[in-house]
A and B are shown apart, each in its own frame.
Chain A
Amino acid sequence: DTGVSQDPRHKITKRGQNVTFRCDPISEHNRLYWYRQTLGQGPEFLTYFQNEAQLEKSRLLSDRFSAERPKGSFSTLEIQRTEQGDSAMYLCASSLIRGKAYNEQFFGPGTRLTVL
């Protein structure tokens, strides 16, 4: 499968624990995005990378959240001291950007986080 993959697909954790999710984008894609989706809402932008550089972070991304893309390939999203409000689907997407042209973002299957 050459699409975007995410791991794990489901995560249940207790409040206060740390969790880390991984995203593997489509191999030649230089941009990688993280979104969060709660029930009944559309995905909300969290952050994105161009290669290994993190270019923008949403105000939704509190200081308990950190994302990395160390070699410009896979990315990790860590949530420290999880809260019940962090329960959501975390979606990763990737795209290939050349110049100013926009190319569609391909989404991964998501990681569903439940904080008890």
Chain B
Amino acid sequence: EDKVVQSPLSLVVHEGDTVTLNCSYEVTNFRSLLWYKQEKKAPTFLFMLTSSGIEKKSGRLSSILDKKELFSILNITATQTGDSAVYLCAVWAGANSKLTFGKGITLSVRP
């Protein structure tokens, strides 16, 4: 059975800190790894990673995938209170396009 594990499960930081969120996976026929941000509503898409070692960047957020070690990290620099959310990692594997999600990491950014 496909498995996605995120760590830590929760994190509290102060504004301006840099955080690293981890996601490891064990799946059959890996295709892509995705990061979503979820505030008190539907998940919103952040990144999709398919190739190892290629960093994707959007503003203060960046992410990279290591297909050999089967993990990904999501970095957020200069955190702001608006970054407070649950960050979900999901993997697309196999012939269909369903996503297998981790439990999510709850990030709280204090002013």
Q: In the complex, identify which listed stretch (B11-19, B60-68, B76-84, B96-104) lies at the interface while the others stay far away.
A: B96-104
Name B101's contact: one of A43, A104, A106 (CB within 8 Å).
A43
Across the interface, do B97 and A102 meet the contact criterion of CB distance under 8 Å? yes
Cβ distance A23 to chain B, nearest Cβ, rounded Å: 11
Which residue of A40, A43, A48 is within 8 Å of B88 (Cβ)? A43
CB interface residues, A 19-64, toward B, < 8 Å = 31, 33, 35, 40-45, 48, 55-56
**Chain A residues, Cβ within 8 Å of B101:** 35, 42-44
Closest to A4 in B: B42
Q: Which of B42, B92, B97, B103 contacts A109 (CB 8 A)?
A: B42
Partner pick for A110 among B32, B42, B90, CB 8 A cutoff: B42
Using CB atoms, name the residue of chain B closest to A92: B42
Does A87 have its Cβ within 8 Å of any Cβ on chain B?
A: no
Question: Are B100's CB and A45's CB within 8 A?
Answer: yes
Contacts of A42 in B (CB 8 A): 4, 88, 90, 101-104
A41 touches B98 (CB 8 A): no
**What residues on B are CB-neighbors of A102 within 8 Å?**
31-32, 48, 92, 97
Q: Of the candidates A41, A105, A108, which one forms a contact with B99 in the assembled complex, judged by CB atoms under 8 Å apart?
A: A105
**Bound Cα distance A45, B98 (Å):** 7
Q: In the complex, which of the residues B4, B34, B42, B104 contacts A108, with contact meaning CB atoms closer than 8 Å?
A: B42
Q: Is the CB of B98 within 8 A of A33?
A: yes
Q: Is the CB of B103 within 8 A of A41?
A: yes
* Interface bits B1-16 vs A (CB < 8 Å: 1, else 0): 0001000000000000
Minimal Cβ-Cβ distance residue in A for B101? A42
Q: Which residues of A contact B48 (CB under 8 A)?
A: 102, 104
Pairs across A and B, CB under 8 Å, 14 listed: A31-B97, A41-B103, A42-B88, A42-B102, A42-B103, A43-B90, A43-B99, A44-B101, A48-B97, A91-B42, A102-B97, A105-B97, A107-B36, A110-B41
List residues of B whose CB falls within 8 A of some A CB. 4, 31-32, 34, 36, 41-45, 48, 88, 90, 92, 96-104
